[in-house]
Amino acid sequence: MRVTVIGAGYVGLVTGAGLAALGHRVRVGEADQERVRQLSSGHVPIFEPDLDRLVRDGLGNGLLSFHRSNIEAAEGAEVVFIAVPTPERDDGAADVSIVEWVIGEVGSHLQEGALVVLKSTVPVGSAKRFQDLLDGVGANVVVLSNPEFLREGSAVADFFHPDRIVIGSKDQRAVEQMVQLYTALDAPIVVTDAVSSEMIKYGANAYLATRVTFANAMANLCEAVGADARDVLLGMGYDRRIGFHFLNPGPGFGGSCFPKDTRALVAIAEESGYDFALLKGVIEVNDEQARRIVAKVREAVGGTLDGTVVALWGLAFKAGTDDTRDSPSLRLADYLRAEGARVRAYDPHVRSVPELEMAADALDATKAADVLLIATEWGEFQNVDLGEVRDAMRGDAIVDARNLLDPGAVRRLGLRYSGVGR
């Protein structure tokens, strides 16, 4: 099929390169000219395992191309995916102005009968709203919802092996065409109306964020009663009704989706007259969690952070990605610096963050540090020689906000250890 993807970010690039790998002819429209130049020469500007190979294959066999003009990219397409950002507005709702702008831009250039597919996470009612908008300019197209569930860090694998594909449309022909587009993928397909499809995306993210927060709240309580949260959550997780996913205590959820999508769902609920108290509580507990980690760091250095040096391991919002959007690590760095600490950071895949002092490697970050704070669960941190860390540090404390290290091994080296819920 002739496919267009607008927006070459984590979602658009994976979708575009993935669909090209399935044999579709894919044109990607992208506003960032430098990104188009890099991608056209086979350089992928984000870290996502296996994506380089997929993009190079697509360029090589001529099925994938990148365009500075969305109109040029969209012309002649049977299916046009919208994968541009939907950031958070001041009131918590999702800002769909970029989606709206793009649809307005390409609307009158779409071929008769084309499908406009909303991959961006958009508020409930968006498909209908954009359908009305396109009907208004006389475009004979169908707008439908097809939310994205990929996880950064395993996005390519998730594209080829999705847990499910959700298609939200009441238009039979559009649904059949979408099923045809994904026919090479072996996944259950949920066909529903657009509003329900839009709700599935928010519901899934809100539920996962709730699980993370439940684990954090349990960990906080375990600390208070003297239980080990790792054992508690392990014992809970073996229950097949519960399972282990997203039950790891830590510094709170972050990233480009959970924070904004939970707040957007609260806004959707408010707008429709439902008080989503549960989700509001989740957001509140999550906001507190970073403060609790800062309190641990403060305590580890004797009660005041002013004038201390904190080594910060990890900046990405989770391991496996270079994405720092709404990362708990950056939240922690801000809080620590606001209390007068000097923060020296290292992340295997994040090379620089504005105004943050970066170290050359994990060990370098710990030089003359009073405390080491582990904020992202990169496996390579487990392989750093903690004896060398101890010798490099000025202080002797490790705050492990991801429960990555073995507390016994740390303590045997003469270092103090503080985890989450243990």
Largest CA distance in the chain: 73
Stretch that binds ligand NAD, among 9-17, 279-287, 294-302, 372-380 (CB under 6 A): 9-17
31 binds ligand NAD (CB under 6 A): yes
Name which of 8 and 420 has its Cβ closer to ligand NAD: 8
β-sheet bridge partners, residue 66: 28
Q: Which two tokens mark 93?
A: 């709702």
Coil, strand, or helix at residue 81? strand
Coil, strand, or helix at residue 126? helix
Binding residue (CB under 6 A) for ligand NAD from 24, 25, 27, 35: 35
**Residue, CB closest to ligand NAD:** 9
Coil, strand, or helix at residue 393? coil
CB of 96 to ligand NAD, least distance (A): 9
Q: Give the angle subtended at the CA of 208 by the CAs of 12 and 287, to the nearest 5°.
A: 100
Stretch that binds ligand NAD, among 129-137, 146-154, 210-218, 387-395 (CB under 6 A): 146-154
The one catalytic residue in 20, 127, 222, 257 is 257
Binding residue (CB under 6 A) for ligand NAD from 30, 48, 370, 377: 30
Alpha carbon of residue 124 to chain centroid? 20
8 binds ligand NAD (CB under 6 A): yes
Q: Give the angle subtended at the CA of 330 by the CAs of 325 and 333, to the nearest 5°.
A: 170
9 binds ligand NAD (CB under 6 A): yes
Stretch that binds ligand NAD, among 78-86, 299-307, 382-390, 414-422 (CB under 6 A): 78-86
Binding residue (CB under 6 A) for ligand NAD from 32, 50, 75, 357: 32
Binding residue (CB under 6 A) for ligand NAD from 3, 4, 5, 6: 6
Between the two ends of the chain, the Cα-to-Cα distance in Å is 53
Binding residue (CB under 6 A) for ligand NAD from 16, 18, 85, 123: 85
Coil, strand, or helix at residue 387? helix
Site for ligand NAD in 279-318 (CB under 6 A): none
CB of 281 to ligand NAD, least distance (A): 23
CB of 222 to ligand NAD, least distance (A): 30
CB of 319 to ligand NAD, least distance (A): 14
DSSP element (H, E) containing 82: strand 79-82
Name which of 8 and 219 has its Cβ closer to ligand NAD: 8
The tally of CA atoms less than 13 A away on the side-chain side of residue 6 is: 29
Let me know if 257 is a catalytic residue.
Answer: yes
Contact flags string 88-117 toward ligand NAD, x per CB under 6 A:
----------x--xx---------------
CB of 195 to ligand NAD, least distance (A): 17
CB 298 within 8 Å of CB 288: no
Binding residue (CB under 6 A) for ligand NAD from 233, 257, 316, 393: 257
Name which of 318 and 402 has its Cβ closer to ligand NAD: 318
d(CA 296, CA 291): 9
Closest CA to 204 of 146, 258, 245: 258
Closest CA to 159 of 84, 54, 247: 54
Q: CA distances (Å), 360 to each of 202, 304, 347, 365, in order?
A: 39, 27, 9, 7
CB 397 within 8 Å of CB 370: yes
Return all residues near 354 (Cβ < 8 A) that are at least 6 apart.
none
For binding to ligand NAD (CB under 6 A), which residues are involved? Answer: 6-12, 29-32, 35, 70, 83-86, 98, 101-102, 120-121, 148, 150, 152, 256-257
Just list the catalytic residues.
257
